[in-house]
Amino acid sequence: MSLPIFPRSGDKNTCNLREAVTKPNIEVGAYTYYHDFDDPLRFQDRNVLYHYPVNNDRLVIGKFCSIAHGAKFLFNGGNHRQAACANYPFAIFGEQWEHDLHIADSWDNKGDIIIGNDVWIGFEALVMAGVTIGDGARIGSRAIVTRDVPPYAVVAGAPARPVKKRFPDEDIALLEKVRWWDWPEERIRRDLNLLTGDVAALRQALGE
């Protein structure tokens, strides 16, 4: 399913991100949007950093995520190898040092960045390599996310730490069971009042 690259008439600062991404190691779910005060179509070049094909690492973003201006995803190429005696990445300049070193050995590979569904990522937040962010989580503005974030958690700060859960555990369990982002578009459209309301109304409507 293809969506319009700009979902709002007259708004060139908000894009359906999946329609703007072309790199094969970046996957974006339907309806996820990115807002940028300059040019949202440059997301994969300006916001996904040190993401070199040699590492085979991926950025995976789920459906219905909201990503604010300047949010960045810092990949493994920015993690100079900690166990090495030298911080300096000699392998990157192997020709200069007349050595046949493997470039990917210059840094620690912590793995993919995985973003769940319906995640909100605030202004200029930074997500580090190897982090998984659960469904429904909220990432505060300018947070630096160095560890996994549970579903429906709110984190903030540098480094990011849990602030609270968005809902009580029983409500989180219901939302994880419902997985509304996997509903057909027709059902989402029909039940928008439930999705924009509180969990109690959703529970009642579903007979849970």
Kindly write down the DSSP assignment for every residue of 171-183, as one continuous string.
Answer: HHHHHHHH-GGGS
What is the DSSP-derived secondary structure letter of residue 83?
S
Looking up tokens 């908000």 gives 14
Q: How far apart are the first and last CA of the chain?
A: 32
Task: Give CA–CA dist 169/140, Å, rounded.
Answer: 21
| DSSP-assigned letter for residue 113 | E
Confirm whether 80 is a catalytic residue: yes
Please name which of 130, 100, 97 lies closest in space to residue 112, comparing C-alpha atoms: 130
Instruction: Return the DSSP state at 197.
Output: S
CA dist 17 → 2, 30, 42, 112, 118 (Å): 11, 8, 10, 19, 14
Residues 104 and 97: beta-carbon distance below 8 Å: no
Residue of 69, 80, 99, 102 marked active site: 80
Q: Say which amino acid occupies 2.
A: S
Residues noted as catalytic = 80
